[in-house]
Structure 1
Amino acid sequence: MILSKNKNPFCFFTLSILIILCHFSLYRLEFMVPLPKNIALATLFDFMIVIPLLSYVFIIRKRYSIKYVPLVVIAGCWLAKMIVPAQKLPQTNGFSYLLFSIEGILIIYELCILFYTAITLIKAVSAVRGGEPISAYFNNRMRQTLSLRMTMTRTMECILTEMTVLYYAFFSWKKKEKRLRGQIFTYHKKTAAIAFRFMLIHALLTESIGFHYLLMQWNGLAAWAFLLLNVYTILFFLGDIQAIRYCPFVLNEKELVLQSGLAKSLTIAVSNIQSIERYTGPETLTKVEEKRTFDAVLQEFAKEKPAFEIKLIKPETVRMVFGFTKQVDTVHLSVDDGQIFFEVLRGLVENQHESR
Structure 2
Amino acid sequence: MHAPRLFEKKIFVYGLPILFILFTSILAISPLMQKHPKLAIAVTYDLTLTAPLLFLFLSKKKAKNKLKTVPFFIMGILLATVLLPENQQEHVNYIKTYLFPVVECAVLLLVLYKIYKSVRIFKYNSKQSEDINTIINQSVHEIFGTSKMSYFIASEIIMLYYLLFSWKKQKTTHKAFTHHKENASIALCCGFLLIIVIETFTFHILLSKWNGIAAWMLTATSIYTAFMIIAHMKVLIQKPSVLTPKNLCLKNGLLANMNIDLKDIDRVEACSKELKSVKFKIANLGLSKESHNHNIAIYFKQKQTIDKAYGLKEHCDVLVLHLDDKNRFINELGAALETIVPST
**What TM-score, normalized to structure 2?**
0.78
CA drift at 1:121: 6.1
Secondary structure of 2:341's match? helix
Q: Residue type matched to 1:164 in 2?
A: I
Alpha-carbon distance in 1 for matches of 2:107, 2:247: 40
Q: 2:186 aligns with which of 171, 194, 198?
A: 194
Contact 1:256 1:267 in 2 (8 A): yes
Q: Does 1:113 align with 2:110?
A: yes
Partner of 1:342: 330
When the two structures are aligned, how many residues end up with a matched partner? 336
Alpha-carbon distance in 1 for matches of 2:11, 2:65: 20
1:36-65: per-residue Cα shift (whole Å, max 9, x none)? 6245315523653246525764xx459983
Alpha-carbon distance in 2 for matches of 1:195, 1:43: 59
Pair 240,88 (structure 1): closer, same or farther in 2 beyond 3 Å = same
Partner of 1:81: 80
Alpha-carbon distance in 1 for matches of 2:128, 2:51: 50
CA drift at 1:11: 5.6
Alpha-carbon distance in 1 for matches of 2:17, 2:116: 37
Secondary structure of 2:103's match? helix
Alpha-carbon distance in 2 for matches of 1:327, 1:73: 35
Partner of 1:353: 341
Partner of 2:101: 104
Q: Which moved more, 1:208-217 or 1:330-339?
A: 330-339
1:224-275: per-residue Cα shift (whole Å, max 9, x none)? 1111111111111111111111111000102111111112222222233344
CA drift at 1:78: 1.5
Pair 124,67 (structure 1): closer, same or farther in 2 beyond 3 Å = closer
Q: Which moved more, 1:112-121 or 1:329-338?
A: 112-121
Partner of 2:296: 307
Partner of 1:182: 174
Q: Which moved more, 1:328-337 or 1:119-128?
A: 119-128
Q: Which runs of 5+ in 2 are unaligned?
A: none
Alpha-carbon distance in 2 for matches of 1:199, 1:31: 63
Contact 1:56 1:69 in 2 (8 A): no
Pair 320,110 (structure 1): closer, same or farther in 2 beyond 3 Å = farther
Alpha-carbon distance in 2 for matches of 1:307, 1:193: 17
Identify the structure with bigger relative contact order (alpha carbons < 8 Å, sequence gap 6+): 1
Matches within 5 A, 1:132-151: 134-136=129-131, 138-144=132-138, 146=139, 150=143
Q: Does 1:27 align with 2:19?
A: no
Secondary structure of 1:217's match? helix
Q: Does 1:230 align with 2:222?
A: yes
1:171-225: per-residue Cα shift (whole Å, max 9, x none)? 444x242x21310011121101111111111111110110000011011111111
Pair 147,253 (structure 1): closer, same or farther in 2 beyond 3 Å = farther
Pair 265,171 (structure 1): closer, same or farther in 2 beyond 3 Å = same
Secondary structure of 1:253's match? coil
Q: Does 1:319 align with 2:307?
A: yes
Q: Does 1:217 align with 2:214?
A: no
Alpha-carbon distance in 2 for matches of 1:306, 1:64: 48
Secondary structure of 2:263's match? helix
Q: Residue type matched to 1:85 in 2?
A: P
Q: Does 1:67 align with 2:66?
A: yes
Alpha-carbon distance in 2 for matches of 1:133, 1:64: 26
Q: Which runs of 5+ in 1 are unaligned?
A: none
Alpha-carbon distance in 1 for matches of 2:165, 2:154: 15
Contact 1:297 1:334 in 2 (8 A): no
Q: Residue type matched to 1:134 in 2?
A: S
Q: Which moved more, 1:149-158 or 1:206-215?
A: 149-158
Contact 1:283 1:304 in 2 (8 A): no
Alpha-carbon distance in 1 for matches of 2:230, 2:256: 16
Contact 2:159 2:231 in 1 (8 A): yes
Pair 171,9 (structure 1): closer, same or farther in 2 beyond 3 Å = closer
Partner of 1:208: 200
Secondary structure of 2:251's match? strand
CA drift at 1:16: 4.9
CA drift at 1:277: 4.0
Q: Residue type matched to 1:135 in 2?
A: E
Secondary structure of 2:260's match? strand
Q: Which moved more, 1:209-218 or 1:28-37?
A: 28-37
Alpha-carbon distance in 2 for matches of 1:148, 1:89: 42
CA drift at 1:311: 1.3
